Structure 1
Amino acid sequence: MKRIIVVAAMLALSAGAVVADQNQVKQTQAQMKETGKNAGAIAAMLKGEKPYDQATVDAALARFEDTAKKLPTLFPESSKGIKLEGDYSTSPKIWEDKAGFEQHIASYAKAVADTKGRVKDIDTLKAEMPPLFKQCGGCHETYRLKKG
């Protein structure tokens, strides 16, 4: 009887951990989708599809800064291998090359900090955003996998 209770308790704890890990993955996906949405708004301005809007730029840079602060905690070891929704999944390289991943995070955070406060018009947007977007793309190329 004691074994059954112990096994049941272990299964319940294990199930709770899986739910917590899936919740972490959903939070990570939501954070990254919102960051991508803001990047898209900036890209539309850079392409001339939308007029320059300082409030949109400021909101996007604030989101990028928030993401930079959260990135170190968004991909815990416990989330490795969890199935993701959407077209992309995390690469195992996030955990296999933790130092490289952390270096990308630091580079992204620096690019955000370097950009924040410098963008005042479309010309400074065109000058300042490519290095920041390059940081995003570099991490995605290495640590994100396209499904299919």
Structure 2
Amino acid sequence: MSDSLLSPVVDEDGAPFWEYAALGELRVQACAAPGCGELRFPPRPCCPHCQSFASEWRPMSGRGRIWSYVVPHPPLLPAYAEQAPYNAVVVELAEAPKIRLAGNVVSGPDAALNSVDPGRLRIGAAVKAVFCPAGPDAPGVTVVRWLLER
């Protein structure tokens, strides 16, 4: 068992998501077929609505709402146990409510996973994306985390 935090797996379909995150941009894959334009996440080669293989990456505002959250008890991996209590959230994007991203609410881009008191989390709470390095096990990868909006 590893003593490090879980790192994202960057595959061919999702690589642009991670490239934009490294630039501090939250983008979501969209169908580029005329008349469709549906957003999709996770990224995949074919549009599930019209079956087109044409796609583009649309910028999002980075704002959303907590759709769901959990404070794991007990954490299952040693590196996470060291940061308990921490949260894991699912965020519904403001301009794309069907798109939900997993992550953590933190107090700042470089803050630890346990930097926000779990008692402050609420379903529907407004959040804003921040970008931070994934860590030593994923050099060059930037992850999206979330700040509570006041």
Q: Which is strand-richer, 1 or 2?
A: 2
Relative contact order, CA 8 A, sep 6+: which one is greater? 1
Indicate the structure (1 or 2) with the bigger Cα radius of gyration.
1
Q: Which is helix-richer, 1 or 2?
A: 1
TM-score where L is the length of structure 2: 0.28
TM-score where L is the length of structure 1: 0.28
